[in-house]
Amino acid sequence: MHSCDVCIHTVDKKYTQTPKLSEQEFSALNIGSHKLISNPNALNDTVWDSSEIVYWQLDSQYEFLSLSQQTSLIKSAFLETSLLTPLKIREKRKQTGDAHIKINWLGAKDEKFFKDRGSVLAFAYGPQDGVGGDVTMNSDHVWRLDKTPISVKDAFDSGLIVDYDKNHPDNILKTFDPIHTMKHEAGGHSCGMRHLEDENLKGSAIMYPFYNGNRVFSKEDRNYLFELYGKSNVASRVSKFMQHYMGRF
C-alpha cells in the first residue's frame, strides 16, 4: 500500500495541510479491500469503483449521542453522495465482508494527532486499500445535532466538559454540528473529494476547508462529485429532497 493523503477538517487555518500517511502517524487501521480507479482530480488520485458497493462500519462511538443517532447521521452524511452519483455506500451488515470505511470517535487521549491540535474537528483518508476512506472524529469537541448553544454550566452538568469558570456559568460553549463534519469527511473526503478552497465558497460549500455548518452540498460540491463519479439517474431531483431530509434532525 502506498501512502494515503489525509484531509483535515478544522476551525483553524493553521491546520489545512493534507499530510501523507508516511509523514503523520494516525491510529486508524482498516483491512477492507475494494476495486479502485485512478482519477487525478481525486484525493489520493483515486476513487472507488462504483460497480461495487462500498461498506462502512462504526468502530467507536461518541458517548453523548445514541447509537441510533450516530448511525442515522452517518447514513445522512453518505446519502447525497449515493443519490447524486452511481456510487453506492451502505452500512456493513453481518452477511457482508469487511468494511471499507471505518468510522471512529476518539479524543486526544486515544488519538495522538488531536493532542496538540485542539482546533482539528476530524480527519479522513481518501479512497485506497487499508486505511483508505477511514474517518476519525474528535470526540473532545461538543457535538450537537440540534445546533443549539449551551452554557458552560449546563455542559458541565451534562458531563460534556470537565471544568469551567465558576464565576461565569452562563458563558456559551462553542458546539459543532456532527452531520456537517461527518458529511465533509465521509460523504466528501472518504469518497475522494478534495477541499474546495475558493474563499467565495466559504459560506456554501461542504468541502470548504473550514467548518461552516452546512448540511447540503452546494452546486460546486455537486459538480465536483460529478467529475469524480458521473451523475446518477435521479441527480437532477436530489437537491430539494436533501434540503427537506436534512431539516428533520
Q: pLDDT tens, 191-202?
A: 999 999 999 999
Measure the CA angle with vertex 223, ends 218 and 225; round to 5°: 95
What mean pLDDT is reported for the chain?
86
Q: pLDDT tens, 72-131?
A: 999 999 999 999 999 999 998 776 567 789 999 999 999 888 888 888 999 999 998 888
Among 74, 66, 38, 60, residue whose Cα is nearest residue 105: 60
What percent of the chain shows pLDDT beyond 70? 87
Distance CA 168, CA 182 (A): 32
Domain boundaries, the chain: 6-141+177-240, 142-175
Q: Which pTM was predicted?
A: 0.87
Which pLDDT belongs to residue 102?
92
Residue 15 pLDDT level (bands cut at 50, 70, 90): low
Q: How many CA atoms lie within 13 Å of 95's alpha carbon, on the beta-carbon side?
A: 0
Coil vs helix vs strand at 111 = coil
Query: Which of residues 94 and 151 earns the better pLDDT score?
Result: 151
Residue 13 pLDDT level (bands cut at 50, 70, 90): low
Which pLDDT belongs to residue 96?
58
Secondary structure of the chain: what % helix, strand, coil (to 5)?
30, 20, 55
CATH T-level fold of 6-141+177-240: Collagenase (Catalytic Domain) (3.40.390)
